Structure 1
Amino acid sequence: MAMNERYEPQAIEQKWQTRWDEAGVFRAGKRPGAPKKYILEMLPYPSGQMHMGHVRNYLIGDVYARYFQMRGYDVLHPMGWDALGLPAENAAIKDGVHPAVRTRENIDSFKKEMGTLGYSYDWSREVNTSDPEYYRWNQWFFIQMLQRGLVFRRFSKVNWCTGCHTVIANEQVKDGTCERCESPVVDREQPEWAFRITQYSQALLDGLDELKEWPERITSMQRNWIGRSEGVEADFNVPGSEARIRVFTTRIDTIYGCTYVVLAPDHKLVAQLTTPAQRAEVDAFVKRMAATSKTDRTAEGVTKEGVFTGAHAINPFTGQPVPIWIANFVLSDYGTGAVMSVPAHDERDFDFARKYALPIKVVVQPAAGDKLPPGDALEKAYTEDGVLVDSGEYSGLPSAEARKKMGEKLRAEGRGEPKVTYRQKDWGFSRQRYWGTPIPIVYCEKCDPERKGQPVPLEQLPVRLPEIDTQTVLTGKGEPPLAKVPSWVNTTCPTCKGPARRETETMDTFVDSCWYFARYLSPHYNEGPFDPKEAQRWLPVDVYVGGPEHAVMHLLYFRFWFRVMKLLGLVPVDEPVKRLITQGIVNGADGRKMGKRYGNGVAPSSIVQKYGADTARTYVLFAGPPERDFDWSHEQVEGVFRFLKRVWTLASTHHAVAAGATHAGTYEGKALEIRRAAHKALKRVGEAIERLSFNTAIAGIMEYVNALYALGTPETPAEKAAMAEAMRFLSVVLTPFAPHVAEEIAESYGAKDFTVTQGWPEFDPALVVDDVIPYAVQVNGKLRAEIRVPVDAAEADVRALAEADERVQAAMAGKTLRKFVFVPKRLVNFVVG
């Protein structure tokens, strides 16, 4: 078929999107005997309008999905919607529109934008987390985990967002504010439901060693968040009291230098131990700390302050009394809420001791080098291991050996024990909002007087969200919204069939995203959350694309959830994802992160309507490596559009003479050069895609197009046939990036099928080897010239060409050659004197 001389993307893109859809070309499972690839991007929360920052995330996965399909894999590339959550509910409070209505509108908008960009999704597997068919299985998982002790009810201090009017997770508190709405977060005590993720802390930590294809910064963040510490718990008895203060320390070897003990202001022993003389000062400090957030108390640079309780505790090794203080830097929910302070060997303790004139005692000296002065002359704490001094029977021991012996002694005497602790806390997931998964629990005063809660029978799932009057229920004030719906709250006890009340809190929406990737495998399966046979086929995910900001939230939560699914016999392996790709941010033209907050978002439709989807796709992928941020540039968008016009012009110019051309003879001269350029491009682009260097791949396509232009119009049968092959290869390498123009070129040059099903040809090794290669020419090790010589040139030929270079002759003039160094295919060096 003839090609239009002008590149008009609007005339071709809708055509190919319709054809792909009608043919189901991206449906997974059509190659059951082929190896599989599961390519996945983090599912979007459909709030507001889609912008080009979103586009980048999904494009990275789309390149791989198309590429691997061309490589012969059976590819699963699904999409769905993280549709529950606070933004839709907050919008409902503000605008009076039901969250379900707003969410549906946003999904329709997102999906329409995605359609115009030509993503290769298998839409037959679409999921929506606000659909009862989906969140039914959140409730099913909850009950399974409750039965196994992985869900529990607790009364604890929580992070209360003053803007969202709900509890949020520790991971969602940023500098004392909510990461979603930026309102202050305060401490608040109340009952909540929690997942016992700490039961898997060590397994999650060990699993990081197996994630060889995850970014190191993500695995490091998870290691730090889990925060494994090996140490010792030791008891400090309080004279005249039954109380014992248990501390955890990783440096028990320094205990002979412990000169005071510090409790968290809200430690349960503070009131009991405070003496009458110190009561007023302690109470005032405790009250002030209660009104200060944990973040503000422990932030870097915050002044360390405290108050003496008037009481003392006995050092379990020295037998000497040490004063008991309370301080702002100790938290009741971290460790035991108490620390032994050794100012000579801890920087924080040193600063505190200096401020309050507390003793400083050196008990560890460096193993080599200068010795430390006495404590009152120390300029800073010595925090390294060393050799113990002034430490009784342990003096002279290295720190590591002393730690082991001291821990064993404490255990033998019943005054402590070696202990492994984790910074990670259990995941509190109950939220005081409407637009989330109802927690399937009922309370019956007769059967459950302690209000532990009874699970809803499995056959009664899902517990659906009730229809509501948004104006009445979603006020953002008072009790949880569901508590304002009596017809829903009042129910029947599953045990005695008498009156009961439902749990009115809902689940954190991170629950939805913990396992959605598995629901894609069988989105309408009714026997369980997904078909385990499909899990055997498709899991783990091969490539997962998403933002690095999810490192210690979603990316940690779903690793935990995957292990629970393995416990339940649903999945075959421990880890959900082989390769993780964390994309950079797309900034607006103003240099700030593109989005609604700054009003600098660029809508995909505005680019597609003016330049076409292929320009939008190619620009975003060419702007920089996927993991780096970049600033939006309208000028560079224009540049990419001009490049695609050149591609089109090249293909249409040669179409009349090259389309359908064949040649059975040899290829020489220009015909050979055309074939060399085509096969080199095929090799270079494929290798660049494999290593996630999409901008380099596109640069290679640009060089390829320039090379074909430079070779001019094909004239002989061999040249025409070579150009026909070159155009077919051009459609191949363009397909992951600019699939619409690739399809049009391929069809115009005789293709009978879609580019992704034609396959990725193998390059001819003989055609990708250069005829000539560069040699660096040095004189006394200093680069003087670069020459190009035949790839099979002998040493004598290379030397002769190097000696003939004028720059080399000038550098050797008047000197005697002492030695000639020849490194094949790399360099030669003339050593002269």
Structure 2
Amino acid sequence: MEMRYNPKAVEEKWQGYWEREQLFSVQEDPDKKKFYLLEMFPYPSGRIHMGHVRNYSIGDVVARFLSMRGYNVLHPMGWDAFGMPAENAAIKAKTHPAKWTYENIDYMRRQLKKLGLSYDWTRELATCDPSYYRWEQLFFVKMFKKGLAYKKKSYVNWCGTCQTVLANEQVEDGACWRCDQPVVQKEMEQWFFKITDYVEELLEYLDKLPGWPERVLTMQRNWIGKSFGSTIHFPLESGKGSIQVFTTRADTLFGATFMSLAPEHPLVDELCRGTEQEETVRAFVERSKQAKRGERAADLLEKEGVFTGAHCINPMTGAKMPIFVANFVVMEYGTGAVMAVPAHDQRDFEFARKYDLPIKVVIKASEDAPVPEPAALDQAFEEDGILVDSGDFTGMTSAQAREAITQALEARGQGELTVQYRLRDWGISRQRYWGAPIPIIYCDECGTVPVPEEDLPVVLPLDLDMPESGASPLPLSEEFVRTTCPQCGKAARRETDTMDTFVESSWYFARFACSDYDQGPLDPQRVGYWMPVDQYIGGIEHAVLHLLYSRFFTKVLRDMGYLQVDEPFTNLLTQGMVIKDGAKMSKSKGNVVDPDDMIRAYGADTVRLFCLFAAPPEKELEWSDQGVEGASRFLGRVWRLVHDNLEGLQAAAPYDGRAEVGSTLQALHRKTHQTIKKVTEDIEQRFHFNTAIAAIMELVNQIYAVQDKASQDPAYWPVMREAVETVVVLLSPMAPHIAEELWERLGRRPSIAKVPWPTWREESLKAEEILIVVQVNGKLRGRLTVPADVTNEDLEKAALADPKVQSFIEGKTVRKVIVVPKKLVNIVV
């Protein structure tokens, strides 16, 4: 056995063995308890980064550990392969997105295999493959027939840089989630999935996910945004219709003095048309649409507006209310119209002061509080209180008035109690090429017609040239666009929008259960065995994107009969970012560490071990070159431990715990079983790999200490072998290559991945006990039986707490306590 550990040779050897033996390929086995472990699959950007390494190392430890614990573990890998980045990169490189994507997949697959990850590669899939997205198109067709997929004209989020529409969830602080450029509002015909049909179930089932981080649950609850309030109808002065307003503060209705509409509100154009205000309003609307959507929603802009020239009527007071278009009102919240109550809403207050609009106080703080003069206000009073100047409702509390006013409006047909949600339907149309074609045909005779199921997939043509502008070439392809109507047989045209890439990732986890199945999207038997995913691992940034969409899609597929589960992921771990020099690793910050360079320099096991040891999974990991060096040195110590003792270890049988051994060896045996218990519980219950590795390091230190003290003892080698083999097995999920090699060198058959996880013996955990004499002022007053490894501090506490001793020190002042380690305690009073 070589004295120095050679990671390259060892890792290539065992990666080849695992692949030849298909060691991690699994099948359904009703006699074994299943465990489906999944990390969020990567976008094939070209190279894996340290965030990937950390994420996949975490998952691999759990997968290997549970497999050794007897579970039938499914641990697959694939590629989230459609999307704008591939298209943009291909245009820049003057190549085709398909070529760029598949080359990246090949490269990244090799990188992942170099990490020694225990994936079942027989289940690999790429979402850009027609054999995958054909089933996604089938789901679309079925959703269209059920009314869950529909097309409508609406204002959408438009990224001019990416030349496509974005869903609300893909706009972050007013910018595109991909390119970070400003997003504007644009009116277009778009396809939507009716996620709002499932809004109440999506909200309710959050309480049934105890294995999810509370932070993610809170983010989804907030995004769904359920609120209880009232819808109030404000008649237009013209008599032609009304403005609908949702409010949670019906108690302030008597104080509403003007109306604010979102620039995108459909009534804006109608109200200003033909008036002196028309030109001014239209210019303001266009300017508002260019503002960052997130800044408008977060109320970060200076409040501006223009009068439309029209009025509406307050249904309670009968007062005329001027209608303004205001930049702080957005269509995504409520109805896109806000009844402005400047005395009791700060935004309205600032707006009213700016444009010299009336302010009317209708709530005071308490029964005894004076009613402030509007002119004396320096800010709005936004709390609940007692109604004033509110007709028959004066004197009521805000809570009473909300109900009473709504009931009064309802009786007159001017309002009703309403439950409102922030969540809007999912816009899935993308005006880009590299995506799954939407399976719809437009016919002048028959209208909008779904592609017949037997004609799927609608294959994305791969022979089109990519315009440098980023615009999709599909509308320019006569061969793709021209088709015949499946209903009447006349000339027709195909939809040229493609689906949002989040559609592919909303069901891939179910397809992994039967990725080779070609009789339908999902094999009921295999999906029934594996689903749901027992442990999902990925970034917090997907809390209201991928995770919400996946929950929705799972419920849709359940209702179609494809799945038998209500939720896709039972447990969720959101790992922290990898940071270096105080910032998240990124090319723009120049602080990226290349995993390939690290593997070449130190080996995959060292890189994995560092990522697992440096921080708990949910915390940020601060990159440290010294930490990587430390992980490398530790693996070197373990290697030398076996190398230096190989002959004696090979010749001995592991200690079974029955024979009498000296105290030093007994302490090592005890430490071995304590470590088994500690590592098992840290992985199984807490995912605290850092403390598990620390426990293994402590055991290695104790083995080295024993090596110097007990090598002449005839019982030495069996206890030594038990301890060393335990180190190797416990280390194997974290550093599998070196563990495989050492296991084989110790005379064991490969693979260590198939070795049962060790169990601890309760009787071996108990420390050897010793008798301690307790004195008070030098006289014997008691005896204590304590563990041999008791600390001086614990020994002092035990002596002072002993009932016999307490009878001699009661009512006296303890001046000092003298501890003679492992012999006596003398209490001076």
Q: Fold conserved (TM > 0.5)?
A: yes
Residues 91 and 470, structure 2, Cα contact 8 Å, conserved in 1: no
Instruction: Quote the Cα distance in structure 2 between the aligned partners of 1:292 and 1:14.
Output: 55
Residue 138 of structure 1 deviates from its aligned partner by: 0.9
Residue 497 of structure 1 deviates from its aligned partner by: 1.8
Residue 167 of structure 1 deviates from its aligned partner by: 1.4
Residue 228 of structure 1 deviates from its aligned partner by: 1.1
Instruction: Quote the Cα distance in structure 1 between the aligned partners of 2:59 and 2:797.
Output: 52
Q: Does 1:361 align with 2:366?
A: no
Residue 7 of structure 1 deviates from its aligned partner by: 1.5
Letter in 1 for 2:604: A
Residue 30 of structure 1 deviates from its aligned partner by: 6.6
Q: Secondary structure at the match of 2:80?
A: coil
Q: What residue in structure 2 maps to residue 407 of structure 1?
A: 406
Which of 720, 723, 732 is the equivalent residue of 1:723? 720
Q: Does 1:582 align with 2:574?
A: yes
Residues 612 and 689, structure 2, Cα contact 8 Å, conserved in 1: yes
- The more displaced of 70-79 and 366-375 is 366-375
Q: Does 1:737 align with 2:734?
A: yes
Residue 168 of structure 1 deviates from its aligned partner by: 1.8
* CA 1:682–1:477: 2 relative to 1, 3 Å: closer
> How many residues are treated as equivalent by the alignment?
795
Q: Secondary structure at the match of 1:766?
A: helix
Residues 88 and 470, structure 2, Cα contact 8 Å, conserved in 1: no
Q: Secondary structure at the match of 1:308?
A: strand
Q: What residue in structure 2 maps to residue 684 of structure 1?
A: 678
Which of 620, 625, 628 is the equivalent residue of 1:637? 628
Residues 42 and 78, structure 2, Cα contact 8 Å, conserved in 1: yes
Letter in 2 for 1:34: K
Letter in 2 for 1:251: R
Q: Does 1:464 align with 2:464?
A: no
Q: What residue in structure 2 maps to residue 711 of structure 1?
A: 706
Q: Does 1:15 align with 2:9?
A: no
* CA 1:346–1:535: 2 relative to 1, 3 Å: same
Q: What residue in structure 1 maps to residue 180 of structure 2?
A: 182
Residue 411 of structure 1 deviates from its aligned partner by: 2.1
Q: What residue in structure 2 maps to residue 670 of structure 1?
A: 664
Residue 495 of structure 1 deviates from its aligned partner by: 1.0
Instruction: Quote the Cα distance in structure 1 between the aligned partners of 2:789 and 2:175.
Output: 67
Instruction: Quote the Cα distance in structure 2 between the aligned partners of 1:485 and 1:724.
Output: 70
Instruction: Quote the Cα distance in structure 2 between the aligned partners of 1:141 and 1:278.
Output: 48
Q: What residue in structure 2 maps to residue 536 of structure 1?
A: 528
Instruction: Quote the Cα distance in structure 1 between the aligned partners of 2:624 and 2:202.
Output: 41
What are the Cα deviations for residues 255-294 of structure 1, in whole angstroms up to 9, with x where unaligned?
1222222122343333444594545543443343244343
* CA 1:372–1:526: 2 relative to 1, 3 Å: farther
Residue 433 of structure 1 deviates from its aligned partner by: 1.4
Is there any run of 5+ residues in structure 2 with no aligned partner, and where? 775-783, 818-824
What are the Cα deviations for residues 319-376 of structure 1, in whole angstroms up to 9, with x where unaligned?
2333322211112343222111122222212222232333333323335785563333
Instruction: Quote the Cα distance in structure 2 between the aligned partners of 1:107 and 1:700.
Output: 38
Q: For 1:60-75, list aligned pairs within 5 A.
A: 60-75=58-73
Residues 28 and 529, structure 2, Cα contact 8 Å, conserved in 1: no
Q: For 1:425-504, list aligned pairs within 5 A.
A: 425-448=424-447, 453-470=448-465, 473-476=466-469, 480-504=472-496
Q: Does 1:750 align with 2:743?
A: no
Q: For 1:127-146, list aligned pairs within 5 A.
A: 127-146=125-144
Instruction: Quote the Cα distance in structure 2 between the aligned partners of 1:558 and 1:512.
Output: 10
Instruction: Quote the Cα distance in structure 2 between the aligned partners of 1:548 and 1:456.
Output: 37
Instruction: Quote the Cα distance in structure 2 between the aligned partners of 1:287 and 1:181.
Output: 23
Q: What residue in structure 2 maps to residue 825 of structure 1?
A: none
Instruction: Quote the Cα distance in structure 2 between the aligned partners of 1:198 and 1:124.
Output: 37
Residues 51 and 595, structure 1, Cα contact 8 Å, conserved in 2: no
Which of 229, 236, 239 is the equivalent residue of 1:238? 236
Identity %: 51
Is there any run of 5+ residues in structure 1 with no aligned partner, and where? 778-786, 821-827
Q: RMSD value over aligned CA atoms?
A: 3.0
Letter in 1 for 2:140: F
Q: Secondary structure at the match of 1:108?
A: helix
* CA 1:369–1:559: 2 relative to 1, 3 Å: farther
* CA 1:801–1:406: 2 relative to 1, 3 Å: closer
Letter in 2 for 1:425: R
* CA 1:619–1:138: 2 relative to 1, 3 Å: same
Residue 578 of structure 1 deviates from its aligned partner by: 0.9
Residue 101 of structure 1 deviates from its aligned partner by: 1.0
Letter in 1 for 2:364: Q
Instruction: Quote the Cα distance in structure 2 between the aligned partners of 1:442 and 1:760.
Output: 57
* CA 1:704–1:371: 2 relative to 1, 3 Å: farther
Residue 791 of structure 1 deviates from its aligned partner by: 8.0
Instruction: Quote the Cα distance in structure 1 between the aligned partners of 2:176 and 2:280.
Output: 32
Which of 693, 708, 712 is the equivalent residue of 1:698? 693
Letter in 2 for 1:69: S
Residue 766 of structure 1 deviates from its aligned partner by: 2.1
Instruction: Quote the Cα distance in structure 2 between the aligned partners of 1:370 and 1:732.
Output: 73
Q: Secondary structure at the match of 2:513?
A: coil
Q: For 1:811-830, list aligned pairs within 5 A.
A: 816=813
Residue 517 of structure 1 deviates from its aligned partner by: 0.6
Instruction: Quote the Cα distance in structure 2 between the aligned partners of 1:736 and 1:147.
Output: 48
Instruction: Quote the Cα distance in structure 2 between the aligned partners of 1:138 and 1:279.
Output: 46
* CA 1:19–1:30: 2 relative to 1, 3 Å: farther
Q: What residue in structure 1 maps to residue 822 of structure 2?
A: none
Q: What residue in structure 2 maps to residue 760 of structure 1?
A: 757
Letter in 2 for 1:659: Q
Which of 244, 263, 273 is the equivalent residue of 1:265? 263
- The more displaced of 201-210 and 751-760 is 751-760
Q: Secondary structure at the match of 2:227?
A: strand
Letter in 2 for 1:516: Y
Instruction: Quote the Cα distance in structure 2 between the aligned partners of 1:675 and 1:88.
Output: 56
Letter in 2 for 1:666: E
Q: What residue in structure 2 maps to residue 313 of structure 1?
A: 312
Instruction: Quote the Cα distance in structure 1 between the aligned partners of 2:325 and 2:150.
Output: 31
Q: Secondary structure at the match of 2:251?
A: helix
Which of 40, 46, 49 is the equivalent residue of 1:42? 40
* CA 1:95–1:790: 2 relative to 1, 3 Å: closer
Q: What residue in structure 2 maps to residue 621 of structure 1?
A: 612
Instruction: Quote the Cα distance in structure 2 between the aligned partners of 1:144 and 1:277.
Output: 50
* CA 1:394–1:323: 2 relative to 1, 3 Å: same
Residue 632 of structure 1 deviates from its aligned partner by: 2.1
* CA 1:44–1:280: 2 relative to 1, 3 Å: closer
Residues 182 and 292, structure 2, Cα contact 8 Å, conserved in 1: no
Instruction: Quote the Cα distance in structure 1 between the aligned partners of 2:118 and 2:737.
Output: 12
- The more displaced of 132-141 and 750-759 is 750-759
* CA 1:803–1:173: 2 relative to 1, 3 Å: closer
Instruction: Quote the Cα distance in structure 2 between the aligned partners of 1:527 and 1:540.
Output: 21
* CA 1:284–1:519: 2 relative to 1, 3 Å: closer
Residue 406 of structure 1 deviates from its aligned partner by: 2.2
- The more displaced of 600-609 and 163-172 is 600-609
Q: What residue in structure 2 maps to residue 547 of structure 1?
A: 539
Residue 520 of structure 1 deviates from its aligned partner by: 0.6
Letter in 2 for 1:397: M
Instruction: Quote the Cα distance in structure 2 between the aligned partners of 1:556 and 1:803.
Output: 58
* CA 1:328–1:199: 2 relative to 1, 3 Å: same
Q: Secondary structure at the match of 1:728?
A: helix
* CA 1:762–1:371: 2 relative to 1, 3 Å: farther
Q: Secondary structure at the match of 2:505?
A: helix
Q: Does 1:523 align with 2:515?
A: yes
What are the Cα deviations for residues 578-625 of structure 1, in whole angstroms up to 9, with x where unaligned?
11111111124x443224444543222212222111101101111111
Letter in 2 for 1:455: P
Residue 61 of structure 1 deviates from its aligned partner by: 0.8
Residues 660 and 750, structure 1, Cα contact 8 Å, conserved in 2: no
Q: Secondary structure at the match of 1:236?
A: strand
Residue 482 of structure 1 deviates from its aligned partner by: 0.9
Residues 332 and 422, structure 2, Cα contact 8 Å, conserved in 1: no
Q: Does 1:192 align with 2:190?
A: yes
Residues 32 and 74, structure 1, Cα contact 8 Å, conserved in 2: no
Instruction: Quote the Cα distance in structure 2 between the aligned partners of 1:534 and 1:322.
Output: 63
